[in-house]
């Protein structure tokens, strides 16, 4: 069923609040960004904020993976269009790098909030780990690599876990060190080394 104009407007308002929060957190830090500042930046009332979110952290928890999926989907499709002859290994590396690119754009404080929000969520006794649909592309690439005889361990699921854990580990290290190194540059060198161990 098609969305009503009111539903569309509600989604747009929610996203506007999210992007305002992202901008302010990157500019002045999480601790120094207030909900009132976010509402001013988003041009919404305090009441409207609480219709959509309960806290600053809630903004990030609710939007991060949708934002990431859209970013990865758009950039990966653009890469495939611009590089039709890209090797399977290059596709795997490029896809794996996209989360690091987005994290570098969002800033280390934002990444810390993301990790904190999802670790807190995992403490809930009712918690069930999410399986992010956007990662199915990487799983498919790993299965293709195995079918073509490229995986050293002949185990696409284990290779996927090793590679994606390396991505998340690099993000966490960069955020913990307060963005003190080039996440994209060092991340690409690190993931290339990991991939070399997995891929022949």
Please provide the DSSP assignment of 60-82 as one string: HHHHHHHHHHHHHHHHHHHHHHH
Backbone angles phi, psi at 199, to 5 degrees: -120, 130
User: Half-sphere exposure (CA, 13 Å, Cβ side) for 112?
Assistant: 15
First and final C-alpha spacing in the chain: 48
Identify any residues that bridge with 151 across adjacent strands, giving them in sequence order: 199
Is the confidence at residue 127, as pLDDT, over 80? no
At 20, the pLDDT band (50, 70, 90 cuts) reads very high
3-state secondary structure (DSSP) of residue 194: helix
Is the confidence at residue 2, as pLDDT, over 70? no
Q: Tell me what pLDDT residue 155 has.
A: 97
- Long-range CB pairs of 125-128 (<8 Å, 24+ gap) are none
Is the confidence at residue 1, as pLDDT, over 70? no
Is the confidence at residue 83, as pLDDT, over 70? yes
DSSP state of 29: -
Of 8, 170, 7, the residue nearest 96 (C-alpha): 170
Contact 188, 97 (CB under 8 A): yes
Please state, in angstroms and rounded to a whole number, the distance separating the CA atoms of residues 171 and 182.
11
Contact 24, 60 (CB under 8 A): no
Please, what is the Cα angle at 169 between 59 and 130, to 5 degrees? 50
Please state, in angstroms and rounded to a whole number, the distance separating the CA atoms of residues 143 and 147.
6
Report CA torsion sign: 133, 89, 151, 100.
negative
Summarize pLDDT for 43-68 with one digit per residue, the tens: 999 999 999 998 888 888 777 878 88
Got the DSSP string for 26-70? HHH-STT--HHHHHHHHT--HHHHHHH-SSHHHHHHHHHHHHHHH
């Amino acid at each position: 069923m098609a969305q009503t104009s009111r539903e569309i407007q509600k989604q747009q308002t929610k996203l506007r609040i999210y992007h305002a929060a992202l901008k302010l957190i990157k500019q002045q830090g999480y601790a120094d960004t207030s909900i009132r500042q976010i509402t001013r930046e988003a041009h919404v009332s305090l009441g409207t904020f609480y219709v959509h979110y309960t806290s600053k952290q809630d903004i990030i928890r609710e939007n991060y993976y949708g934002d990431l999926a859209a970013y990865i989907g758009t950039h990966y499709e653009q890469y495939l269009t611009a590089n039709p002859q890209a090797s399977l290994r290059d596709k795997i590396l490029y896809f794996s790098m996209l989360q690091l690119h987005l994290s570098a754009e969002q800033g280390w404080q934002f990444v810390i909030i993301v990790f904190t929000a999802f670790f807190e969520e995992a403490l809930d006794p009712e918690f069930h780990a999410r399986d992010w649909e956007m990662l199915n592309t990487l799983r498919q690439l790993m299965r293709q690599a195995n079918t073509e005889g490229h995986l050293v361990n002949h185990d696409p699921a284990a290779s996927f876990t090793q590679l994606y854990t390396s991505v998340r580990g690099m993000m966490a290290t960069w955020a913990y060190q307060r963005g003190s190194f080039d996440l994209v540059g060092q991340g690409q060198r690190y993931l290339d080394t990991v991939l070399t161990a997995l891929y022949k």
